[in-house]
Each structure stands twice: as structure tokens, then as C-alpha cells.
Amino acid sequence: MRKRLTPEHLLEVGVIHRPHGLKGALTIYSHTRPAIGIAGYSFWWLGVNSESIKSYKVKRCWEHGKRILAELEGVSDCDQAVLLEQMHIWVPADEATVGENEYLWADIIGCEVYQISDERGGGGSGGVLLGVVVALEEYGAQDILTVRTPEDARQQGEWMLPFIEDVVLDVDLAARRITVDLPEGMDACFTPRF
């Protein structure tokens, strides 16, 4: 018997896009890296939100060209598959593993982002608070941190920062702090909000 999961014990790992074929296969958008990593879970919990989930056994999950496809137990035709469109896919958070210098997106959301101090930014040894991570996005070559400025910032807006070694110097999940170094020209990654 599987344990009862509550929303705080879940990690979102993907979304069901649409049916594929007539036998109930599903097209999946995976949040895992690599994308096929979503196939490593034998059960998925599906729902429109984490409070309305239902468990499904994963019969098969595979790469098909550039897509991820899956077959779930109890979903055997296109009509059943259509009912799962746009459902989010969750797994127990304690089943997710990450390697060294890898992070779960859910752990990065809410971290404060500081620009290291330099002649441009001041801020002393603690650096300058740029804002808080509100989202991560995948744009091909690298992931992008969306960082919203603090309420008291002189200029309100959002930073779109590449999550790469040249920019992100340190991630301290215990302190909920990310330290970045923005090279010249990175001001173009800021979108003001009026």
C-alpha cells in the first residue's frame, strides 16, 4: 500500500500535453534534466493542482523523436487520455535525487539573489540584493532565473539571469541565498516595471 501524500511532500516533474495515437499514450512535457529522467518514477500523481491528485502506475515511458511519451495503467484509449490533458505530474519529493552542483527547481524558488559587491554595485561584503527567484524557465542552451526586485527597490522589475557558472557563483540552499556576478552588459537582462 502506497503512503498518503500531502502537497508539501510532492515535487512537480512535468505536465501532460495531449494524447498521442489511439491507444491512450500521452505526450509529456518533462521538468527533469535530462527530460527522460521523468521515466525513472514508477508512479505519477496527476491532477490540476497538488490537492486534487490521483496515483497512476507508469507502464511505459520513452523518447519518441524530440518528445516524451508515456502509457499509464488504466488509460487505454484516446478518450481516457483526453481527460488527462494539462494535468500536472507529481512524484514524492523524497524520491527525487540530484547530483553534486545540481538543484531542484522547487528549492531555488524563493531564494534571495545578491550581486557581489564591486565598484558598480557597492553593498559592502554582503553584496547588493537584486531580488527573489520567482521562476525558472528553460530556453534551450541554459535555464533562466527570473528574479523579482524587492518591494523597496528604487526601480521595480525583473531580472532574467542565465543559470550558468559565469553568472551564478554560489547557491546556498540552507541560507536561501544565490550569489551572482553580472558582467558588463547584463543590464539588458532587466525589465523595468512601472
Model pLDDT for residues 55-88, shown as the tens digit of each residue: 999 999 999 988 999 999 999 999 999 999 999 9
* Nine cell digits for residue 162: 542565465
* Residues 90 and 45 grouped into a single domain: yes
Beta strands in 116-155 (DSSP E): 128-139, 142-148
Label residue 50 by pLDDT band (50, 70, 90). confident
Boundary of a domain, candidates 95, 129, 148 = 95
pLDDT at 51: 83
- The whole-angstrom separation of Cα 165 and Cα 11 is 25
**C-alpha angle 166-168-174 in degrees, rounded to nearest 5:** 155
For residue 184, the 8-state DSSP code is T
- The predicted-structure confidence for 7-40, as pLDDT tens digits, reads as follows 667 888 899 999 998 999 999 999 887 889 899 9
- Domain range holding 64? 7-95
Q: Mean per-residue pLDDT for 110-135?
A: 78
CA atoms within a 13 Å half-sphere pointing along the CA-CB vector of 150: 11
Q: Is the pLDDT of residue 114 over 50?
A: yes
CATH of the domain at 139: 2.30.30.240
Nearest to 62 by CA among 20, 96, 94, 97: 20
* Residues 188 and 122 grouped into a single domain: yes
* Residues 85 and 119 grouped into a single domain: no
Q: Mean per-residue pLDDT for 157-181?
A: 93
Boundary of a domain, candidates 95, 115, 149 = 95
* Nine cell digits for residue 67: 518528445
* Residues 80 and 134 grouped into a single domain: no
pLDDT at 141: 73
Q: Is residue 1 part of a domain?
A: no
- The whole-angstrom separation of Cα 158 and Cα 132 is 9
pLDDT at 120: 44
Q: Is the pLDDT of residue 129 over 50?
A: yes
Boundary of a domain, candidates 77, 95, 113 = 95
What is the pTM (predicted TM-score) of this model?
0.65
**Secondary structure element (H or E) that encloses residue 78, with its range:** helix 78-82
Q: Is the pLDDT of residue 173 over 70?
A: yes
pLDDT at 46: 95
H helical segments located in the chain = 78-82, 105-108
